Amino acid sequence: MTLLIQTLIQGISLGSIYALIALGYTMVYGIAKMLNFAHGDVIMVGAYTIYSTILLAHFPGWLGVISAVVFCGVLGVVIEFLAYKPLRGAPSLNVLITAIGVSYLLQNMALLLFGGNQKSMLPDSFDFPDVKIGNTGITVTGEVIFTITLTVVLMVALTLFINKTKMGKAMRAVSEDKDAARLMGINVNRTISVTFAIGSILAAFASLCYGMSYAYIKPTTGSMPGIKAFTAAVFGGIGSIPGAMLGGFVIGILEKLSSAYISTQFTDAIVFGVLIVMLVVRPTGLLGKKIREKV
Amino acid sequence: MKKIFSLVLAVLMVASCAVAFASCNGGSKALFEKDPEDNVIVKIGGIGPLTGDYASYGNSVKNGAQIAVDMLNESGALKGIKFELLFEDSEGDGTKAVNAFGKLQDDGMNVSLGGVLSGETKNIVASAAESGILVLTPSASAKDAINKDNAFRVCFNDPQQGLYAAEIIKEKGLATKIALFYDNGNDYCKGNADTFKSRAAELGLQIVTEQTYTEGSNTDFSTQITAIKEAGAELVFMPIYYSDAAKFLRQAVDTLDTVFFGVDGLDGLIGECGTEHASDCEDVILLTPYFADSVDPTVKSFVEAYEEKFGATPDQFAADGYDAVLAIAEAIEENGFTPDQLMEITAEDFNKKMVAAMTKITVTGATGVMTWTADGETDKDPNVLQIKGGEYVEYKTADAE
């Protein structure tokens, strides 16, 4: 029983990180109708930004987080402007290949700047106290509590932003019908830029959680969480924001349960296997909308 | 226009092939080259990861070997014979290592240092079997990494380390309930874990849980840590590399209050934990044939030279690299080669004689006094070390103090 609860807590924590990243995938897909495969590497950039500010330049911790949020936000907009905007009318395959190119560009830039060896992202002082639950033997680490809390706060904020603000309304409109939105006087390009910025800011927070849980980073740090989060986004229904949140948690819990009860070797096979089953049974994902094909 | 161009290209290709053949069949080219001062240059070719996850090992071996080369050249121990170290980056990848081996052969390598990691060395040894060149790997420890007659190693093999580890745990009374934690996609880790398991069973040590991971899942160890805790282990035996060990310890130290015990792959852990996470690796115990604070004169002179040149304390891989070069020099001395003989000898003859000498020599190096058996294994005693305050100290049991 203890093992089950402990595993579920770890799963929710891991799922929170996936959910934060998956939100970036799903928002960009919903609005720009493209898969931004460079998104995973934005996490890596965020991680190195925090590392540079805190450990190399010795600024206080909060400044490290702020600089990562700002830098990633700007980076998201710049990537969109330089790499994707010129391809706005092009076939989606071109954009996909470009995204993969951007992903490698970011990884290799990090390799050039920081080298291939793994680096400790945060100083030891960045450690939250663990919480022991009564005498059940269950320990919840401070990082887990922080990660889950931060994710919930960010999700509530994002939901409010999308449902209550004018920009949120514009995003929903663009996602539903880009041309109609343009005719209604919505600045589509600006809306897309803002979407990229928000997605990348969420990735920066994900990098903070990643660094607190796993401590060490390297230039390929973003790829695996990126792929898992993409899986989560598809699982939940790509384009759907609640779907990405749900998908993140489901994938995280599934991964932890299968590694605890089945095998640590086959975890990834099981996770991706479930994705395949999902795509066969329900191609639109858990909360995805059925889109009627216009003929 | 296109036709003419392709014709020219074809002619060029044929010409270049002819040149290549001519240089191969000429045979007049001597095996060795001479430097301006008329010394014969013996080229030692090393391959190892200089970048990437295992970069610390490759760079240490390279630097250690360089120290030995410099020392031998300065002292003039072998009259009229100088050494040169060529070193190629493999990034820890077997295919790249084979390519690097080919490049070194083109560059005129006379003796090979094999690879630094077990996997890449296996590939290099396979490529080297054809020419019969002496391969002396400093650090490839998997049992089958040197499965050819011309291959030898300076370090222990994995079964040896796993055996010693089980024996030392039993002898020092460190624990009776042991958890195994290793990367089971890695030859080195799995090799050590397997022999540890069988030896532990013979010694009556109980393995309460066996937790594994793979290269693709070496980020989140929380499941394994929970399982180790649930199993009530007193000691975690982790025959893994330092980069994974640093990540594992970071996540484990808060939850587990066990003893952490590893083998020579943990060498480099102190640097990896750095000042940020120095407390993670405190009290970790590891087995290694070498340690820098030894009072042995050979070790001392090596450590001093290394610190002066590279500004860092040499780890075990550096010592292995150093000893490999010393052994090569010893093998040349054993054969009594003079510079003139070397200028006339054929590659086949030289390789044969070097390989034959390996089983006859005794080398006093930084990793102890070594002799070699015909199957390429070395014989020497390991030290049991513990990390205390960011340094290695000889491990002492509580009642011995």
Q: How confident is the model at residue B23 (pLDDT cuts 50, 70, 90)?
A: very low
Q: How far is B248 from chain A (nearest CA, A)?
A: 9
* Segment A168-183, tens digit of pLDDT: 999 999 988 888 999 9
Looking at the fold, whether B37 and B150 belong to one and the same domain comes out as: yes
> Which residues from chain B sit within 8 angstroms of residue A118, using beta carbons?
53, 243, 246-247, 272
- What is the CATH number for A43? 1.10.3470
What is the tens place of the pLDDT at every residue in B187-228? 789 889 999 999 999 999 999 999 999 887 888 898 899 899
Residues B308, B280 share a domain: no
ipTM of the complex: 0.78
- Copy the structure tokens of residue A84: 């994707």
Residue A295 lies in a domain: no
Its domain, for residue B344, covers 33-156+296-380
Q: Give start and end residues of each alpha helix (H) in A115-222.
A: 142-164, 166-176, 178-183, 188-214
Q: Which residue has the higher pLDDT, B61 or A34?
A: B61
Torsion of CA B4, B8, B9, B13, to 10 degrees: 150
DSSP B67-110: HHHHHHHHHT-STTEEEEEEEEE-TT-HHHHHHHHHHHHHTT-S
pLDDT of residue B13: 60
Residues of chain A with Cβ-Cβ distance to B254 below 8 Å are 130, 139, 141
Residue A294 maps to a domain: no
CATH of the domain at B248: 3.40.50.2300
Residue span of the structural domain in which A213 resides:
2-281
Count of the separate structural domains present in chain A: 1
B87 and B37 in a common domain = yes
User: Do B228 and B269 fall within a single domain?
Assistant: yes
User: What DSSP string runs through B118-169?
Assistant: HHHHHHHHHHHTTTT--EEESS--SGGGG-STTEEESS--HHHHHHHHHHHH
Q: Residue A260: its chain B contacts at CB < 8 A?
A: 223, 226-227
Q: Summarize pLDDT for A6-18 with one digit per residue, the tens.
A: 889 989 999 999 9
At residue B159 the predicted structure's pLDDT band, cuts being 50, 70 and 90, is: confident
Helices (H), chain A: 2-32, 39-51, 61-79, 92-114, 142-164, 166-176, 178-183, 188-214, 223-236, 241-261, 267-281
Question: Given a cut of 60, is residue B311 above it in pLDDT?
Answer: yes
B316-341 pLDDT, tens digit per residue, is 899 999 999 999 999 999 999 988 88
For residue B27, name the pLDDT band (cuts at 50, 70, 90): very low
Helix (H, G, I), strand (E, B) or coil at A186: coil
Report which of residues A123 and B213 the model is more confident about: B213
What pLDDT, on a 0 to 100 scale, did the predictor assign at position B22? Answer: 47
Is B223 close to A268, i.e. CB distance below 8 A?
Answer: no
Q: What is the pTM of this model?
A: 0.75
Same domain, B228 and B333: no
- Please indicate whether, in this complex, the C-beta atoms of A117 and B217 are within 8 angstroms of each other: no
Confidence category of residue B14, pLDDT binned at 50, 70, 90: low
**Nearest-CA neighbor of B319 among B277, B362, B289, B342?**
B289
**The pLDDT value given to residue B29:** 62
- CA of A10: which chain B residue's CA is closest? B222
Q: Is residue B394 part of a domain?
A: no
Question: What pLDDT is stored for residue B351 in this prediction?
Answer: 93
Quick check: helix, strand or coil at residue A19? helix
In a domain, residue A237? The reply is: yes
pLDDT of residue A208: 93
